Amino acid sequence: MFAVQMQGIVKRFGGLVANDGIDFELKVGEIHALLGENGAGKTTLMRILYGLYTPDEGEILIGGKPVRIHSPRDAIRAGIGMVTQHFTLVPTLTVAENITLGESGSLLDLQQIETKVEALSGRLGIPVKAGTPVGQLSVGEQQRVEILKALARHARVLILDEPTAVLVPQEVQALFEVLDRLRREGISVVFISHKLHEVMTVCDRVTVLRDGRAVGTVEKSQTTPSELARLMVGRETFGVHRQGERPSTGVLLRVEGLNVKSRKGAVGLHHLSFEVQAGEVLGVAGVSGNGQAELGEVLSGMLQPESGRIWVGTQEVTGASPAELTRAGVGRIPEDRHASLVGELSVADNLVLDQLEHFSRHGVLDRNAVRRNAERLIAEYQIKALPETPIRTLSGGNMQKVLLARSLSRNPLVVIASQPTRGLDVGATDYVRGRLLEQRARGAAVLLISEDLDEIFALADRIAVLFEGKLMGILNTREATVEQIGLMMAGTPLKRSSVKEADRG
C-alpha cells in the first residue's frame, strides 16, 4: 500500500532541471530516506509534494488516487505535513497556541487547548510543555512542536527536511525515537538527509537522488554505506582522516582571556583561552550560532576584541587588521566564500587580491606575474577554470579551491578554517580536508571551526566545544566520545581535571 506515489516529476528553474523525471513511492508506515548531495533536488521534490512548487510535468497519487496539490493548504488537506529547516513558530505564543494556530474554530479556551495538545503529545510519545512560550524552548523542542503541529492537523505523511542539521547528538537520538513511534502509528515519514550514518540508523528504505534524478531505491537491510555513497556521488569514497600524532614543536596560536561584545542578534565571546600547537588541528565544535562565526572573525581581524590577547608565534597580534594578520602568518579559509572573492574579477585577480604589493612594480600590477601565479596554482590545486575565468561562474568546490590556493600557498604559520566544507560535494569535501591535513603535516597550527562533528572527529587532534560564546572544555580526540561532545554542545562544561589533561596534550 502506497501513501504517496510521485511519477515522472520534472521541475525546471530557468535552464536548470532540479527534478528530471523522478519516480518516488512512499509506503504506508515506512521511514523513507531521500538521500543525496547538496543540490541533488531533494528539497525541490518535497516542496512539490507539499504544494510549495508546481511541477512542470508528472503526477502525484495519494492513497492510489491522482490529486492536484497547488498549495500547502491542499497538501494538509491530503494529509501531508512538512517540517522545514526554518521553523515557522511564533516565539511569543505558547506551544499549545502555536499548534492550534490557524485551525478553524480555534477560539477554544486556553485550558482546553493545552489539554488537547498534552493528550496528543502523550499518545505520540512526543513530550512538550504545552503552556510554555515557544521562544523559551531549545531548538530540539521547537522541532518537536513543529512535528506535533503537523500531526495535530491529521498528517499521515510527514516530511522532515534535514531535521538533524540543527540538533545536538542527544536530540538526534530523541528524534529517532519519535520517528519510530510514528511508524508504529502507521504514519509515513520522508526523511531528507545527506548523512549516510543517519540514514542507515533510522530508515526502512532509501531513495538516492543525484543531479535531479532518482538513481535507485534500496531496502536499508539490503544495502551498505559504501553502496549508498557510490549511488550518491557515482563512485566510491574513502573519506579523509588524520593519521598519527605529531611531536609538537611549540605553540603557534595563543588566545588568552578573549572577550567580544555581543552584537545585535549574535552571541559574544567570553573569556576564551586556548593554544594551538605546530602540527596540530584544534577542532572547534558547536551548534550553529554559538560564537563560531565571531571566533573566526576575531581571529581574522574583522572583529575587534573588547579585551584579551592573541599571539601568532611569538608576535602579539591583538587588534591587528586583516592585512597585518596575513603578514604575521595567518591564512584564513573564511566562512563566507562569496564575500571573500570578487565575483566579477577573474580567477587570476582573485588569487592575488590580498597581496597586490607582491605582484606590483613601482605601483603597477605585473600582469605576467599575476598570470604565471594563477597558472601555477590552478594546476597545483586542480581548479577547474582558466586564469581569466570570472569567479562567479565557478562551482562552490572550485571557489573554495581558489581560497585554499590563495591562503595556503603562502605557507602560513596558523590556518583558520571556518566551515571549510559547508555546501561542498563529497569529492570537494575530501579534497579540502586533505589539504588541511597537509598543513598539519607541514607543521602549521590549524584551527578548524566546524559544525560538522564527523569532520571534527576525522581531522582534529583536540576538540574544543563552544556554547553561547563560552568554551565548555577541550578534549583529546582519542579520548572524546560523541556523547561527551554532545553534552558539551548542549551547555554542560567538561570537568576541570580533564580540561587540564587535554591542555597538556
Ligand X SMILES: Nc1ncnc2c1ncn2[C@@H]1O[C@H](COP(=O)(O)OP(=O)(O)O)[C@@H](O)[C@H]1O
CB of 467 closer than 8 Å to CB of 451: no
The one among 36, 58, 291, 296 contacting ligand X by CB under 6 A: 36
| Residue 419 contact among Mg ion, ligand X, none, beta carbon within 5 to 8 Å by kind | none
Q: How far is the CB of 41 from Mg ion (least distance, A)?
A: 8
CB of 93 closer than 8 Å to CB of 133: yes
| Residue 71 contact among ligand X, Mg ion, none, beta carbon within 5 to 8 Å by kind | none
What values do phi and psi take at 155, rounded to 5? -65, 135
Type of residue found at 466: L
| Residue 100 contact among ligand X, Mg ion, none, beta carbon within 5 to 8 Å by kind | none
Q: How far is the CB of 428 from Mg ion (least distance, A)?
A: 17
CA distance 430 to 435: 9
Strand partners, 193: 35
| Residue 38 contact among Mg ion, ligand X, none, beta carbon within 5 to 8 Å by kind | ligand X
CB of 182 closer than 8 Å to CB of 189: yes
CB of 453 closer than 8 Å to CB of 485: yes
The one among 4, 26, 35, 40 contacting ligand X by CB under 6 A: 40
Residues in contact with ligand X, total (CB under 6 A)? 11
Give whichever of 14 and 105 is closer to ligand X, judged by the CB atom: 14
Q: How far is the CB of 262 from Mg ion (least distance, A)?
A: 30
CA distance 146 to 260: 34
The one among 24, 44, 285, 295 contacting ligand X by CB under 6 A: 44
Q: How far is the CB of 163 from Mg ion (least distance, A)?
A: 12
Q: What DSSP state is assigned to residue 133?
A: B
Q: How far is the CB of 193 from Mg ion (least distance, A)?
A: 10
CA distance 165 to 148: 19
Give whichever of 424 and 487 is closer to ligand X, judged by the CB atom: 424
Give whichever of 41 and 291 is closer to ligand X, judged by the CB atom: 41
- Binding segment for ligand X (CB under 6 A), chosen from 38-46, 282-290, 350-358, 410-418, is 38-46
| Residue 433 contact among ligand X, Mg ion, none, beta carbon within 5 to 8 Å by kind | none
Question: Is residue 210 within the footprint of ligand X (CB under 6 A)?
Answer: no
Instruction: Count CB neighbours of 477 within 10 A.
Output: 19
Q: CA 26, 167, 263: angle at the middle one, nearest 5?
A: 135
SS3 450: coil
CA distance 61 to 68: 9
Crossing angle between the packed helical segments 426-442 and 396-408, to the nearest 10 degrees:
10
The site map against Mg ion for 89-128 (x = CB under 5 A) is ----------------------------------------
Q: How far is the CB of 212 from ligand X (least distance, A)?
A: 7
Question: Is residue 400 within the footprint of ligand X (CB under 6 A)?
Answer: no
Q: How far is the CB of 175 from Mg ion (least distance, A)?
A: 18
Q: Which of 322, 338, 318, 341 is nearest to 330 (CA)?
A: 322
The one among 8, 38, 343, 393 contacting ligand X by CB under 6 A: 38
The one among 4, 33, 43, 348 contacting ligand X by CB under 6 A: 43
Question: Is residue 41 within the footprint of ligand X (CB under 6 A)?
Answer: yes
CA distance 380 to 6: 45
Q: How far is the CB of 46 from ligand X (least distance, A)?
A: 8
CB of 280 closer than 8 Å to CB of 446: yes
The site map against ligand X for 152-191 (x = CB under 6 A) is ----------------------------------------
Question: Is residue 39 within the footprint of ligand X (CB under 6 A)?
Answer: yes
| Residue 450 contact among ligand X, Mg ion, none, beta carbon within 5 to 8 Å by kind | none
CB of 461 closer than 8 Å to CB of 245: yes
Give whichever of 193 and 400 is closer to Mg ion, judged by the CB atom: 193
| Residue 18 contact among ligand X, Mg ion, none, beta carbon within 5 to 8 Å by kind | ligand X
The site map against Mg ion for 457-476 (x = CB under 5 A) is --------------------
What values do phi and psi take at 3, rounded to 5? -80, -40
Strands (E), 321-406: 330-333, 360-361, 364-365
The one among 6, 35, 42, 408 contacting ligand X by CB under 6 A: 42
The site map against ligand X for 1-20 (x = CB under 6 A) is ------------x--x-x--
Question: Is residue 407 within the footprint of Mg ion (CB under 5 A)?
Answer: no
Task: Give the footprint of ligand X on residues 268-327 (CB under 6 A).
Answer: none
Classify residue 236 by burial, with Cβ atoms within 10 Å: 0-12, 13-18, 19+: exposed
Phi-psi region of 443 (alpha: psi -120 to 50; beta: other; left: phi over 0): left
CA distance 402 to 383: 7
Give whichever of 18 and 187 is closer to ligand X, judged by the CB atom: 18
Give whichever of 397 and 469 is closer to ligand X, judged by the CB atom: 397
Closest residue to Mg ion, judged by C-beta, is: 43
CA distance 422 to 435: 15
Crossing angle between the packed helical segments 225-233 and 426-442, to the nearest 10 degrees:
110
Q: DSSP letter string over 382-397?
A: T-SS-TTSBGGGS-HH
Task: Give the footprint of Mg ion on residues 1-60 (CB under 5 A).
Answer: 43
CA distance 219 to 201: 12
Q: What DSSP state is assigned to residue 266?
A: S
Interacting residues with ligand X (CB under 6 A): 13, 16, 18, 36, 38-44
Interacting residues with Mg ion (CB under 5 A): 43
